[in-house]
Amino acid sequence: MFSLTKPAKRTVPYSDDGGTERGRSSIASTSESISESGELAGSDPHSPKGKVNTNDRKSRTGKGRGLPKKGGAGGKGVWGAAGMVYEDEEPDVRDPNYDESAQGDTVYATVVPEVDEKELEKMVNPIVQEYFEHGDTKEVQMLLKELNLGPHKYEFSSLAVSLSLEGKASHRELTSRLLSDLSGKLLSQSDMARAFDKMLKELPDLILDTPEAPQMLGQFIARAIADHVLPMSFLDCYKGKVDCEHARVALDRAAVLLTMKREMVRLDNVWGVGGGLRPVKHLVKEMNLLLKEYLISGDVSEAEHCLRDLEVPHFHHELVYEAIVMVLESKGDTASHMMIKLLQSFWKTGLITVDQMNRGFQRVYDELPEISLDVPHAHSIMETFVDLCYQESVITKQLRDACPSRGRKRFVSEGDGGVIKN
pLDDT in tens, the chain (422 residues): 444 445 554 544 444 444 444 444 444 444 444 444 444 444 455 555 555 555 655 555 656 666 666 666 666 666 667 777 777 777 777 777 776 666 666 666 677 777 777 788 888 899 999 998 888 889 998 988 888 887 888 889 999 999 999 888 888 888 998 999 998 888 889 999 999 999 999 999 999 988 889 999 999 999 999 888 998 889 888 887 888 899 999 999 888 888 865 444 456 666 765 555 567 888 888 889 889 999 998 999 989 888 887 878 888 999 999 999 999 998 888 899 999 999 999 988 888 988 999 999 999 999 999 998 888 888 999 999 999 999 988 898 899 999 987 654 444 444 555 455 44
Q: Are residues 197 and 287 in the same domain?
A: no
What pLDDT score does 68 carry? 62
**What is the span of the domain harbouring residue 246?**
117-260
230: exposed, middle or buried (Cβ count in 10 Å: 0-12, 13-18, 19+): buried
Domain's final residue, options 231, 260, 289: 260
Q: Are residues 279 and 251 in the same domain?
A: no
Cα separation of 286 and 280, whole Å? 10
Q: Are residues 123 and 223 in the same domain?
A: yes
Cα separation of 49 and 72, whole Å? 27
Question: Which three-class secondary structure string do you get for the chain?
Answer: CCCCCCCCCCCCCECCCCCEHHHHHHHHHHHHHECCCCCECCCCCCCCCCCCCCCCCCCCCCCCCCCCHHHHCCCCCCCCCCCCCCCCCCCCCCCCCCCHHHHCCCCCCCCCCECCHHHHHHHHHHHHHHHHHHCCHHHHHHHHHCCECHHHCCHHHHHHHHHHHCCCHHHHHHHHHHHHHHECCCECHHHHHHHHHHHHHCHHHHHHHCCCHHHHHHHHHHHHHHCCCCCCCCCHHHCCCCCCHHHHHHHHHHHHHHHHCCCCCCCCCCCCCCHHHCCHHHHHHHHHHHHHHHHHHCCHHHHHHHHHHHCCHHHHHHHHHHHHHHHHHCCCCHHHHHHHHHHHHHHHHCCCCHHHHHHHHHHHHHHHHHHHHHCCCHHHHHHHHHHHHHHCCCCCHHHHHCCCCCCCCCECCHHHCCCECC
Number of separate domains in the chain: 2
Q: Are residues 252 and 126 in the same domain?
A: yes
What pLDDT score does 134 carry? 86
Q: Is residue 299 part of a domain?
A: yes
Cα separation of 233 and 66, whole Å? 89
Q: Are residues 231 and 299 in the same domain?
A: no
Cα separation of 227 and 265, whole Å? 8
Q: Cα 316 vs. chain centroid, distance in angstroms? A: 32
What pLDDT score does 232 carry? 84
Q: Is residue 2 part of a domain?
A: no
Q: Are residues 256 and 279 in the same domain?
A: no
Cα separation of 151 and 337, whole Å? 62
Sign of CA dihedral 291, 296, 300, 302: negative
Q: Is residue 165 part of a domain?
A: yes
Q: Is residue 134 part of a domain?
A: yes
Q: Is residue 7 part of a domain?
A: no
Q: Is residue 84 part of a domain?
A: no
CATH code of the domain covering residue 344: 1.25.40.180
Q: Are residues 248 and 347 in the same domain?
A: no
Q: Is residue 89 part of a domain?
A: no
Tell me which residue of 173, 174, 213 sits closest to 196, measured CA to CA: 213
Q: Are residues 217 and 141 in the same domain?
A: yes
